[in-house]
Amino acid sequence: MREPTFWILTALASEPRHGYGVIREAAALSGGRVTLQPGTLYAALDRLDDEGLIEVDREEVVDGRTRRYYRLTQPGATALGAETKRLRASADAATAQLKRFGPGPATAHFRAGRLAW
């Protein structure tokens, strides 16, 4: 699963959201690391909808424009759960390896960078 997909599913896990809602929630949950472009977001939403991982929850009309809300489906929740398990296993493996790194305590420095797709 690619990272934008992961964050979109994660953003939809708590409640149905519309496009901008997903972008804002993904940015908040990732600590500002993930900035989804609307073009990228809707391409991913189309794909996830086609795969049955998300579906349209409802439509609202705001300022004369249709705002569509999406929600996670049960298969979507299962896929996100599986991906979370995989990421945790990867993180655990890396953490175990880092403990064996070097003479002193493990010192890994991460610089907070903004990723964008």
Partner 1 sequence: MTADRRLVRAYRRLTRCYPPGPRRDELLDTLIECAPAGRRRPTPYEIINLVSHGSRARLGRPRSKGIVVLALLIALAAGFVGASAASRLGLEAVGSLPVGAEAAEINETVFPGLTVWGGGDAEKIVTQGDGEGIEYGYAVSWVKSTPATRDVAGYTAATRARLEAAGWTITSVDPPLDETDMVGANPADRAEGFTAERGGLALHFNDYLYPGAPWYDGDGNATYSIWHRQPWWLTGLAWLGGLLAAALAWLLTGWMSRRVHSASAAGLGVAGAVCCLIGVLPAALLALPGAGSADETASPYWQGLVYLGAGPAILAGIVAALMVAVMTLVKPPAPLTRGLRHAATWPGQVRRRPRLLAALIAGGTIVAGLGLYRVETRHLAAGSCTPVVPSGVVDPPSARLSYRSRIFIDPATPAEDRNLIEAAFRRGFGGAYNFNGAPTPGFTDAFCGHGRIAAGVLDTLPWYWSIDLASPGLFTGMANEVGNMPGIVAVQHLPSNA
Single out the residue of 15, 28, 32, 37 in contact with partner 1 (rule: CB under 8 A): 37
Pairing label, strands 17-18, 54-62: unpaired
- Does 107 sit near partner 1 (CB under 8 A)? no
Single out the residue of 23, 26, 54, 72 in contact with partner 1 (rule: CB under 8 A): 23
Q: CB of 18: closest distance to partner 1 in angstroms? A: 7
- Does 113 sit near partner 1 (CB under 8 A)? no
Identity of the residue, 49 or 57, whose beta carbon is nearer to partner 1 in the bound complex = 49
Query: Within 13 Å, how many C-alpha atoms sit on residue 58's CB side?
Result: 6
- Does 3 sit near partner 1 (CB under 8 A)? no
Return residues touching partner 1 (CB under 8 A). Answer: 18-20, 23, 37-43, 46-47, 49-51, 62-63, 65-68
